[in-house]
Structure 1
Amino acid sequence: MVSHNINNTKTQFLEHQKQKMGLIPVTVVALWYVIVVFVGFPLASNAELDSSFYKNTCPNVSSIVREVVRNVSKKDPRMLASLIRLHFHDCFVLGCDASVLLNNTDTPTKIESEQQAFPNNNSLRGLDVVNQIKTAVENACPGIVSCADILTLAAEVSSVLAGGPDWKVPLGRRDGLTANRTLANQNLPAPFFTLAQLKSAFTAQGLNTTDLVALSGAHTIGRAHCSFINTRLFNFSNSGKPDPTLDTTYLQTLRKTCPNNGPATNIANFDPTTPDTFDKNYYSNLQGKKGLLQSDQELFSTSDADTISIVNTFASNQDAFYESFKASMIKMGNIGVLTGKNGEIRKQCNFINKKSVEFDLASAVPKEVWLAHSK
């Protein structure tokens, strides 16, 4: 997660938005929050994608993805949550087109990577794992499987490996040709959003309240850096006091992990009971005022919210949570997909293909030879 002080980040972001968009002063302090009109791409229908898309061209793609993710997660269980988050952060910006994977480039076209957007900077994990998967897939089926589909498959595999639900992933996405850092700053919800802000961010992507609560359940696994919760623990809403929605015993536990002005690299479990198991405990935690992020606890502690009944249902019925999570993941995975002749199948996930050619040449032959032939 971001390593700089979160209060400074909020201020910097608001100033950035006012300068860029001419916004009037705002009274609600929010990182990455802009009321966004849904623009730029249509929602794709499920009919455009097919779980058997690679049946004849790359039949083993799912098992290849699973093998790489399984091997990585044995050493780093947190990676399962990180890969689900990476898919989420891709789909909320330009749709599920692997734009989040693109690095900064100047040629053949200038790309400002989404990886340096406020919600992603110093916090995205799993980019190297996606590259490992891509290499393995290219060895088996060169030029066939998109990075966007790899992200989607990796998210599903991560759910299963953590003990969560599985589903048939609709496939056939193609990779985008650009990224959009501005949209990343606008579209991705922040860890201290209010419920109204969360709903706005999800509605902008064509996702409803049930989708919001179900997809938030991915926080049943993984960890967050203390910088995302520090103000909740010590100075909520500039009150000099902790967030009143936090259980007092849980508060003291979190303060030991995340002391005031402590190391920014400290991390806390989203689920204090089963941090690496994909289960319904996330919702039970919300009922007990033990949601790690403000945006988590908002789902249950916002007065008279329609999300409360959904939380209660998922807390009492894990099957109901799993079914909703599966449906919402498929729905999210259909946002703004490129199919047919749109986009491309990237050779390397971090660069569009014309840029990839340069890197292939540079890595395949000695530098002196490459330079001689490139003059």
Structure 2
Amino acid sequence: MRISTPKAIALTVTCALGLAACGTSSGTSPGGPSGGSSAMPSSGVDVGKASAVTPVDSATLAKAKEQGSVLLYSNADEQQMKPVIDAFEAKYPAIDLRVLNMNDAQTFQRYATETATGVRTADVVMGSDAVGMLDFVGKGNIAEYTDPNVKNLPEYAQLAPGLVAMSEDPVVAVYNTALIPKDGQPKDIASLAGMSDSLKGRIGTTDIGNPTQFGALAGYIGRHGEAGWKNIERLGPNSGVESGTGNLMQKLAQGQYSASYFVSGTVRALIKGDAAKVLNYAYLTDGTPLIPRGVGITKKARSPEAAKVFVNFLLSVEGQEAACEGGFTPYRDGVDCAYGVPAIEQAVGAGNMILGGYPEGIVKDKPALDARWKKAFGR
């Protein structure tokens, strides 16, 4: 059966974003040609000079090779992680990187269950839920390890003792270009709120229970206060709410939504080729929140040295380049990436990036933020 062009493109986007039941061929990286690695575009901005290589010491590496594997619980999906896995195992063929993909809440619950019963659990955890990660650290689940690469990173990279950002993922707006042409697409939340009455029911976002939505809201309100709430409360009655980015992007590609906001920036690497014929993303010029994706070694790690080698790789220039291929957002100097922090700064200006680790008071403020968002969205 021949699929009509709009449906065919929507299906291509759906498959590319890892939605629905579409297979991913081995050897195909996100946005890259089939059977080969992705050729990442140059950011075309000054990314600074890479610092000297700061690997783990030889004794740690030797023990890591003896341990032979590292188990990661990650909130990033398989397509995002593939370039990182491939690059790590190519550099350290004696260490097998096993990755289980799950959301942050599942990670915390699984770790609690496994440690209580004494079975093998994660050596490393990766997550974007600021409140959940801080609670996880507060309960003593993260080893207080400082990687040699930390001295080469900005101060905001250290999120908590033993917990460091491997990526600073922005939130973006995404538009269906067939329904809203590029020259008519709002570039900030205030403008989108202003036209939301005319788009009632055709604007989408994710639920406040999604860590990306909560992180974006906390950052945006932290910057704009009551003026920001006025925009959010105008958008609320006019917005459809999805549980996750997958459903949101699928409905955008199929034309059920014309616009979306506070979308995880990891979709940027996937909006190309046929997908770019339908979708376009834009940074938010009245404040682009960048949400840290934290990574830490667990206290109950069975392969703690192998975990140190993996975290060291993630924070290196080489590791950040591999992360860029998956759509993560590298932030350390010397990483040429079209999705990196310098490229975002060029697009919106340094003053319009909401960047700096976890927002102050985010744990204390969460109940009030949740409640006011739910009221605005009628949840």
TM-score by length of structure 1 reads 0.22
TM-score by length of structure 2 reads 0.22
Higher relative contact order (CA 8 A, sep 6+): 2
